[in-house]
């Protein structure tokens, strides 16, 4: 994988031609990687797409920042190093927090947002914070997180693979991610987001319940809201075709 500004990334040009929609940048959630976005999403036709491994995750070296603002600065540095113009940032959970922070603090860098299973505030259960801080309890923490991340109908092999991938991420990286999420709160600033926004979530999301996404859609001026049935927090893994259709349609509304 190529690396820019300390962030490894996967890229697809989608067979697209310029002019067209701006680049689409996928940002994963806590303990995740670019593989949290399945190939069906990373290779949407007609779009230039980047899927990031944040520092400390996937193929990126380094440590995980413990604030969303710092993570947003890392993504901004990556974008700047590649000379990209305004992008659409698609963020899942923690990645959605990063995307919102970019839109608030660096609006000229953002052409639109796709917020997946996230919120304007992301409180983390104290037990998860404590368990991820302990290497001994880390596997148990991952087991609990997986239980809350998928719907009851999720494919068991997919859930197992997700757990194996998350266990490959060092405990201190995941702990820093959850600390960053727990500190994140921009509820009072949501009305300042001034770009087109697609908000979507799974109907069975237990980690960021549907009301979180609905509140985003109500408070952000130019936001649309979609709920995908029979899907949990990892909606893009459980229902990639439906998510891809929604994202593709949204991107056609935005031009560079």
Where are the chain's structural domains?
3-251
pTM of the model: 0.95
> String of b and e for 178-200 (b: at least 16 CB within 10 Å)?
bbbbbbbebeeebeebebbbbbb
The residues with which 198 forms a beta bridge, in sequence order, are 114, 224
CA distances from 227 to 38, 230, 242 (A): 19, 10, 10
Q: What is the pLDDT of residue 86?
A: 96
> String of b and e for 231-247 (b: at least 16 CB within 10 Å)?
bbbbbbbbbbebbbebb
The residues with which 10 forms a beta bridge, in sequence order, are 51
Q: What is the pLDDT of residue 100?
A: 98
pLDDT in tens, the chain (256 residues): 999 999 999 999 876 556 678 999 999 999 999 999 999 899 999 899 999 999 999 999 999 999 999 999 999 999 999 999 999 999 999 999 999 999 999 999 999 999 999 999 999 989 899 999 988 899 999 998 998 999 999 999 999 999 999 999 999 999 999 999 999 999 999 999 999 999 999 999 999 999 999 999 999 999 999 999 999 999 999 999 999 999 999 999 886 5
The Cα 222–Cα 37 span in angstroms is 25
CATH code given to domain 3-251: 3.40.50.1820
Q: What is the pLDDT of residue 21?
A: 87
């Amino acid at each position: 994988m190529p690396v820019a500004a300390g962030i490894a990334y996967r890229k697809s040009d989608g067979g697209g031609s310029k002019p067209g929609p701006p680049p689409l940048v996928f940002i994963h959630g806590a303990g995740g990687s670019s593989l949290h976005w399945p190939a069906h999403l990373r290779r949407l036709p007609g779009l230039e797409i980047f899927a990031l491994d944040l520092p400390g995750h996937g193929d990126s070296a380094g440590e995980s920042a413990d604030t969303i603002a710092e993570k947003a600065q890392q993504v901004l540095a990556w974008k700047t190093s590649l000379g990209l113009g305004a992008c659409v940032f698609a963020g899942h959970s923690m990645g959605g927090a990063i995307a919102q922070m970019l839109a608030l603090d660096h609006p000229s860098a953002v052409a639109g947002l796709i917020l997946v299973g996230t919120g304007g505030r992301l409180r983390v259960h104290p037990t998860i914070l404590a368990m991820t801080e302990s290497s001994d309890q880390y596997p148990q923490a991952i087991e609990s997180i997986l239980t809350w991340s998928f719907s009851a109908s999720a494919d068991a092999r997919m859930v197992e693979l997700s757990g194996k991938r998350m266990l490959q991420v060092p405990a201190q990286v995941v702990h820093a991610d959850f600390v960053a999420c727990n500190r994140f709160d921009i509820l009072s600033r949501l009305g300042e987001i001034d770009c087109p926004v697609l908000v979507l979530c799974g109907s069975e999301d237990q980690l960021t319940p549907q009301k979180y996404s609905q509140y985003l859609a109500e408070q952000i001026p130019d936001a649309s809201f979609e709920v995908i049935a029979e899907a949990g927090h990892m909606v893009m893994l459980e229902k990639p075709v439906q998510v891809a259709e929604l994202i593709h349609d949204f991107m056609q509304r935005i031009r560079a």
